[in-house]
Structure 1
Amino acid sequence: MVGRRCRGAALPLVTTLPKDLPADEIGSGLAGFWRALPREGRFLLSTVAVQHLGRGMTLPFTVIYLHEVRGFSLDTAGSIMALLALVAALAAAPMGALTDLLGARWMLIVAGVCQSLGAVALAFATSLPIAVLGAVLMGLSQSIGWSASNTFISALVRGPLRQRYFGVNFALLNLGIGAGGLIAGAFVDVARPVTFETIFLVDAVLVLIPGIWLLGPLRHVHARAEHPDDGSATASYATVLRLPGMRWVLLLALVTSFVGYGQLEAGIPAFAHGVAQVSTSVVGLAFAANTAVIVLLQFWVLQRIEGHRRTRVGLVMLGIWAVAWLALGLSGQLPGSLAAAVLVVAFLTLFGLGETLLQPTLPAITNDMAPDHLRGRVNAAQSTAFMAGGVLGPLVAGVLLERDLSTTFVLVVVAGLVVTAWLFLRLERIVSPAVNGLPVTATDEPSVH
């Protein structure tokens, strides 16, 4: 339990975390959600968009920068980015254990420092060792970020508030990344290296902003739980895998990443440009539409899914994604046409609508089933599974599209959606109604220290 006392007086605790409210007491709209949040939740949420603005500036242009500005070959630039992903995947498990041991607050501070130092290194990556150092530091940051962030959020809110928080957090994250990409796209110039150095240095500064809250108003929230006194559960990944439904959650994270996010930066752009033969400006417009849908509709979606089974919400998401992928497949049958361009934009618009359903549900299921003393490991395990899907997705897309098997590529993804639907139905039979998002009259979830 976390609380605040008035200075100089032994008064009762006035803030108890994590805060839980029935859905009908939260209030309507974004204003009602904001009022329902604890003070600590408002602090944390207030910087999400700004924190990710710098990442949005650098993410779309890192390979271009390394290749065209710093002179690395495309193979080398791609290997540097692959190293970043590899470090993130390999370090996720030990970082999750450290999150349980040290608390999510300190791990988030470490993640911010690593990201900042990595961005500075890449800003001045005039040699391969400096670029590799930057990638390693950023990979370490990513290995910490998912599990520590979700663990910290779960220390602040639970129940309906937790699900809404995850959704709003995702929308703000996309707002920051989308705005950053637009700003950098209008600013960077390969003929002027200083423009790229600037965006990496801006990222290095902005990513440290949450640390102000973590070292100040949020310093009392450690997001670290004590181990149960009865010694009934060892704090290990073996214990995590024995949690009811956990293996199904990991499979869901793997497959949804493979059919979804794993294709965003590789398979989808390659299909749109190489098979549907739409221009890069159309691809950019499609990604802008994706971001707009998430930012504009996320809270509306959150209100509509409140009180429904999260697994059924996942099935609705899969239906939307299936229509989206069929639209993308059809665009490949109409190459270079206006219809193909419309279908590509429609694909990423529908994909974004599906994201607004997925992001509040799967993290909420994961954290509602996690004991507090294992929460860092649970989130790290899900993060690792998600990153594995993000590695497999581009590999499969590259192999199939390189061999002109575009129809097979779409069919493989649709088959993955069917498998995901089966996994959601299996999970529904295992998890409790409370974990699945149905209203409960009381909860026995232990509090966090």
Structure 2
Amino acid sequence: MGSRLFTSLWASQLVRQLLPTLTFTTRRQSLTLCGFAQSLNYPGHLVKLLNTLVPADFRAAVTWPVRRFYACTFINCFGFGLILSLFVVYLHNVRGFSEGFATLLLAVSSVVGLATAPLWGTFIDRFGPVRVSLVSSVLDAGALVYWAFVHTSLEAFIAALMLAVVGGAGWGPGTVLMARLVAEEHRQRAFGVNFMLVNLGIGFGGLVSASVVDLHHPGTFEVLYVANAFIMLVGAALFFTLLSYGGPVNEHHDDPKLRDEGWREVLADRRLVRYVVAAVCLMLGGYGAIDTGLSLFVVNNLHVSVHSIGIIFFFNTSTIVLAQLSMLNRIEGHSRARILALVGVCWFVFWVILASALALPKFLAIASICVAMVVFAIGEIMFQPVGNAMVNEMAPEHLRGRYNAAGSFAWGVSGTLTPALTSIYFSFHFGNWWPIGTGVTALVGSAMMLNLRRSLSAKEDGRVAVA
């Protein structure tokens, strides 16, 4: 998710889409906003649309704890949006470090985050997702404040390592808690709504950041990093109110066999291992490459203005926010492995369109990339809910933290490998072939996901309703 341009259109559309999920409760009755819309004489087709986008059974599953969870997601991602994509710019343009030092530090941070992820997964299983999230958020906030005022290479290195170690927790605590807050049959939809709020929060944060940040005033960067630290603590305080739902799992302690289980059993699960390998290929042909090389390709190979990048990402993120709920209805009950394979196909189509833009005039090239970003977004809104639901369907409760840490391994690997792979293409003047090579990687991931389907039960693959 690179630098994205947002408008208030998304906020109004999100309110219209989420109306059914909110509930006004009095002592005598619970009145959903669908009924509220009817009481205000809204057109019947609007009420029908609301009921279609968010089915009644899912609205009932969006309890008060789930709403608090969603509020935490938006708050934290708004703060993250304030500083997204500022890492290298902050070090090089503001603090005066070389580009080589900045990119090297970014790569080292990715490796450290990847190496610490298994440890965080173990902590989640042992202490519960809420406590782990609280500790990681407090440490992250402290590291952000320190990072905001670094002036020497040693200070930058220490701060980056602190952020990387804490960042190893990733989305793990939240994913585990969401799996506990909603019933199995609603997890896929719940993860999808959460992903929509992730993008909305980052988008609004990015909009605020764009209006504040100024390369000629280093203080603006300091304000953004400190603001993110404060917002993170606010989100952590709200998240802590869910402690009763996110404690450690103790039931397995009475069983000697289950009590001794750990990463050995997780890595012995061939379904999970095959999923992670396939997801790595998808990510190398998806998010990782987008974040690492798209801006470089657009500016240097298509010779398009850097200002067009914001417009391009606008189409991507607006598609996610506007289409997520509808897509969740379309994929419900279908094979998760096949849906993930379709993700790879969507991303391959994206890269083909991007490569084709080389032969187009600048205006048409920009237009074609905007269309391509819509296609890429369609893959995103399938990948996020389906991948998380599949991993959590495989996971036994007492190992859920470790399973989710392993499932997120693809993010760390792609974040570590794609800068090197992208550098090879552009350093040896094969940049025009970068889109096709990356797209083929996504197709390999698709083939591996289809092969994974044979190892999954119908329930794990999402082909049957969960009782």
Flag whether TM exceeds 0.5 (same fold).
yes
Residue matched to 2:113: 88
User: C-alpha distance in 1, partners of 2:289/2:135?
Assistant: 29
State the Cα distance separating 1:361 from its structure 2 match: 0.5
User: C-alpha distance in 1, partners of 2:163/2:55?
Assistant: 35
Higher share of residues assigned helix: 2
Tell whether 2:322 aligns with 1:296: yes
The one of 311, 334, 346 equivalent to 1:285 is 311
Aligned pairs for 1:210-221 within 5 A: 210-216=235-241, 218-221=242-245
Residue matched to 1:11: none
Residue 465 of structure 2: SS of its match in structure 1? coil
Partner AA of 1:198 in structure 2: V
The two structures, once aligned, show a CA RMSD in angstroms of 1.9
**1:387-421 C-alpha deviation (Å, 9 max, x unpaired):** 11222122111111222213432232222122112
Tell whether 2:329 aligns with 1:325: no
Tell whether 2:367 aligns with 1:342: yes
- Which deviates more from structure 2 when the two are superposed, residues 207-216 or residues 36-45? 207-216
State the Cα distance separating 1:438 from its structure 2 match: 2.1
Question: Are the counterparts in 1 of residues 185 and 465 from structure 2 also a CA contact under 8 Å?
Answer: no
State the Cα distance separating 1:57 from its structure 2 match: 1.5
User: C-alpha distance in 1, partners of 2:169/2:151?
Assistant: 27
Aligned pairs for 1:16-31 within 5 A: 28-30=52-54
- Which deviates more from structure 2 when the two are superposed, residues 223-232 or residues 161-170? 223-232
Tell whether 2:237 aligns with 1:222: no
User: C-alpha distance in 1, partners of 2:283/2:83?
Assistant: 22
**1:419-445 C-alpha deviation (Å, 9 max, x unpaired):** 112211111111111111123353xxx
- Which deviates more from structure 2 when the two are superposed, residues 401-410 or residues 322-331? 401-410
- Structure 1 residues 204 and 326, CA gap change in structure 2 (3 angstroms): same
Residue matched to 1:352: 377
State the Cα distance separating 1:244 from its structure 2 match: 4.6
State the Cα distance separating 1:271 from its structure 2 match: 1.4
Question: Are the counterparts in 2 of residues 84 and 135 from structure 1 also a CA contact under 8 Å?
Answer: yes
**1:351-393 C-alpha deviation (Å, 9 max, x unpaired):** 1111001111011100110011111111111222331122212
State the Cα distance separating 1:136 from its structure 2 match: 1.9
State the Cα distance separating 1:338 from its structure 2 match: 1.3
State the Cα distance separating 1:31 from its structure 2 match: 7.8
**1:301-345 C-alpha deviation (Å, 9 max, x unpaired):** 1111111111121232222222211100101233x6212111222
User: C-alpha distance in 1, partners of 2:319/2:410?
Assistant: 26
Residue matched to 2:386: 361
State the Cα distance separating 1:236 from its structure 2 match: 2.0
Question: What TM-score comes out, normalization by structure 1 length?
Answer: 0.88
Residue matched to 2:420: 395
- Which deviates more from structure 2 when the two are superposed, residues 355-364 or residues 412-421? 412-421
Partner AA of 2:324 in structure 1: Q
**1:38-74 C-alpha deviation (Å, 9 max, x unpaired):** 3211111123122111211112222112212111111
Residue matched to 2:293: 267
Residue matched to 1:309: 335
Tell whether 2:302 aligns with 1:276: yes
State the Cα distance separating 1:235 from its structure 2 match: 2.3
Residue 202 of structure 1: SS of its match in structure 2? helix
Residue matched to 1:37: 62
Residue matched to 2:47: none
Tell whether 2:453 aligns with 1:439: no
User: C-alpha distance in 2, partners of 1:134/1:66?
Assistant: 12
State the Cα distance separating 1:36 from its structure 2 match: 2.1
User: C-alpha distance in 2, partners of 1:332/1:441?
Assistant: 48
User: C-alpha distance in 2, partners of 1:351/1:420?
Assistant: 15
Gaps (5+ residues) in structure 2? 1-49
Aligned pairs for 1:179-194 within 5 A: 179-194=204-219
User: C-alpha distance in 2, partners of 1:281/1:347?
Assistant: 18
Residue 463 of structure 2: SS of its match in structure 1? coil
Residue matched to 2:10: none
Residue matched to 1:150: 175
Gaps (5+ residues) in structure 1? 1-25, 443-449
State the Cα distance separating 1:250 from its structure 2 match: 1.0
Tell whether 2:286 aligns with 1:253: no
- Structure 1 residues 279 and 160, CA gap change in structure 2 (3 angstroms): farther
Residue matched to 2:33: none
Question: Are the counterparts in 2 of residues 121 and 133 from structure 1 also a CA contact under 8 Å?
Answer: no
Residue 303 of structure 2: SS of its match in structure 1? coil
**1:189-211 C-alpha deviation (Å, 9 max, x unpaired):** 11111111111111001112232
- Structure 1 residues 109 and 136, CA gap change in structure 2 (3 angstroms): same
Residue 154 of structure 1: SS of its match in structure 2? helix
User: C-alpha distance in 1, partners of 2:319/2:466?
Assistant: 34
Question: Are the counterparts in 1 of residues 68 and 239 from structure 2 also a CA contact under 8 Å?
Answer: no
Residue matched to 2:220: 195
The percentage of counterpart residues that share the same residue type is: 30
User: C-alpha distance in 1, partners of 2:299/2:213?
Assistant: 23
State the Cα distance separating 1:245 from its structure 2 match: 0.8
